Amino acid sequence: MADAAGTPVHVYSRAVLRTRVRALDAAFASYPHDLHYAIKANATLAVVREMRAEGAHADANSGGEIDVALRAGYAPDQIVFTGVGKTHDELVRAVTLGLKAINAESPGEMERIDAIARAHGTRARVAVRVNPDVDAGSHPHISTGLRGNKFGMTPAQAHQMVTSMAARAHLHVVGLHVHVGSQITSAEPLRRGAEAIAGLATALAAEGISLEHLDVGGGLGIAYEPGQIVLTEAEYAAAVLPVVRPTGLRLVLEPGRWIAAPAGVLLTRVVDLKAQADGRWFVIVDAGMTELLRPALYGAWHGIEAVSPRAGAPIACDVVGPVCETSDTLGKARHLPPVDVGDLLAVRDTGAYGAIMASNYNRRPMAAEVLVDGAAWRVVRRRQTIDDMLQWDE
């Protein structure tokens, strides 16, 4: 496959994608809920279509992701739309499409949604994003629920907004939204996030304001490193459901990474080997921060394995890419079986926030993406050509 498709190539397993979304859905089976797959994790159409085929709905974070959802076959009322800087055009699109919920991030945005809905003679469905001031305990770049983060409104502000917007003819406040961060590996932040909106919903109900749903966002982490302690999907449900259940409101979840990350590997070929002064090796491969930004951006750890391990004593090495930055390191201080130029390596758990965060830095064409289905496979996103890359240049 790597011979035919070329490297670097992102490879996804249809079976793993489907098994994961089903498992998460099953964990919440005892309570009315909708899984809205977070398209940002992997927006390749073939992947989003698999999610839809499994009955998941969609969470979009931009106008572009709304288009991905629509092209994957979703109806507008299956899409929730989040985003801290929605433009006027994006809001007009969201309002006129009639999305299931626009997750509003600020009082100003709620006013703008109201004005757009009025101008278009419609009623916009809005959920209010609450910033619960909860520490997700993950990397600071992907923690979103602290008071100092740019996301959402304080619970007090959200309360005041919902009450003051309740009587507006063109605004229908249908829910509350929270998302405290990503790659969360313990129950407490997820529980506290849910608690913040469940508590607010209860207070609003006492004032006669009833909602349709509580959207607890995404964030469930996976074990990138062997032995890393994470929450199971059952533990996640056990953290969230007891908090949400007393409200009686439908639960919305926006999982991305947990479903998609373990379904993907990045296949890359060794292009050079170079001895380091301390006796270790640089294993230089044809993928780098342009195909997988996570190690460079967050210091993230991804497993790296030889696809056909050679016999012999393991070598100590840094696995590095071809890009002109020292941050272009896929794996630092690793041990691999002896490798040679031309060997294939697999970088693990790259199905989420892998291909979608790719760039053309160093004018590197974006990698192909392949979906494996049992013994069969097909290219679901072809490799960019130099002409593709340069087509917008004058």
Q: Which residues does the annotation mark as catalytic?
A: 324
Window of 9-17, 256-264, 313-321, 364-372 that interacts with ligand LLP by CB under 6 A: 256-264
Given candidates 54, 90, 105, 254, which one binds ligand LLP under the rule CB under 6 A?
Answer: 254
Give the nearer residue to ligand LLP in terms of CB position, either 40 or 172.
40
Q: Which amino acid is at 109?
A: E
Interface with ligand LLP, residue 257, by CB under 6 A:
yes
Minimum CB separation of residue 125 from ligand LLP in Å reads 17
Give the nearer residue to ligand LLP in terms of CB position, either 14 or 302.
302
Window of 106-114, 236-244, 253-261, 359-367 that interacts with ligand LLP by CB under 6 A: 253-261
Cα–Cα distance, 391 to 394 (Å, whole number): 8
Interface with ligand LLP, residue 25, by CB under 6 A:
no
Minimum CB separation of residue 314 from ligand LLP in Å reads 28
Interface with ligand LLP, residue 41, by CB under 6 A:
yes
Site for ligand LLP in 169-228 (CB under 6 A): 179, 182-183, 217-220
Give the nearer residue to ligand LLP in terms of CB position, either 130 or 211.
130
Interface with ligand LLP, residue 255, by CB under 6 A:
yes
Give the nearer residue to ligand LLP in terms of CB position, either 151 or 281.
151
134, 332, 349: which is closest to 222 by C-alpha? 349
Q: How many CB atoms are closer than 10 A to CB 127? A: 27
Interface with ligand LLP, residue 294, by CB under 6 A:
yes
Cα–Cα distance, 129 to 106 (Å, whole number): 8
Cα–Cα distance, 346 to 8 (Å, whole number): 10
Given candidates 25, 34, 54, 59, which one binds ligand LLP under the rule CB under 6 A?
Answer: 59
Nearest-5° Cα angle at 17, 193 to 44: 90
Give the nearer residue to ligand LLP in terms of CB position, either 281 or 353.
353
Q: How many CB atoms are closer than 10 A to CB 308? A: 7
Cα–Cα distance, 340 to 331 (Å, whole number): 17
Minimum CB separation of residue 202 from ligand LLP in Å reads 23
Interface with ligand LLP, residue 145, by CB under 6 A:
no
Cβ-contact 219, 352 below 8 angstroms? no
Interface with ligand LLP, residue 126, by CB under 6 A:
no
Interface with ligand LLP, residue 27, by CB under 6 A:
no
Q: Which amino acid is at 195?
A: E
Nearest-5° Cα angle at 283, 282 to 286: 130
Given candidates 24, 110, 126, 142, which one binds ligand LLP under the rule CB under 6 A?
Answer: 142
Q: Where are the beta strands (DSSP E) in the chain?
A: 9-13, 33-38, 57-60, 79-81, 101-104, 124-129, 171-177, 213-215, 250-253, 264-275, 281-285, 304-306, 315-320, 329-336, 344-348, 368-373, 376-381
Minimum CB separation of residue 177 from ligand LLP in Å reads 7
Asked whether the CA dihedral 321, 326, 329, 331 is positive or negative, the reply is positive
193, 217, 123, 214: which is closest to 165 by C-alpha? 123
Contact residues for ligand LLP (CB under 6 A)? 38, 40-41, 59, 82, 142, 179, 182-183, 217-220, 254-258, 294, 298, 352-353
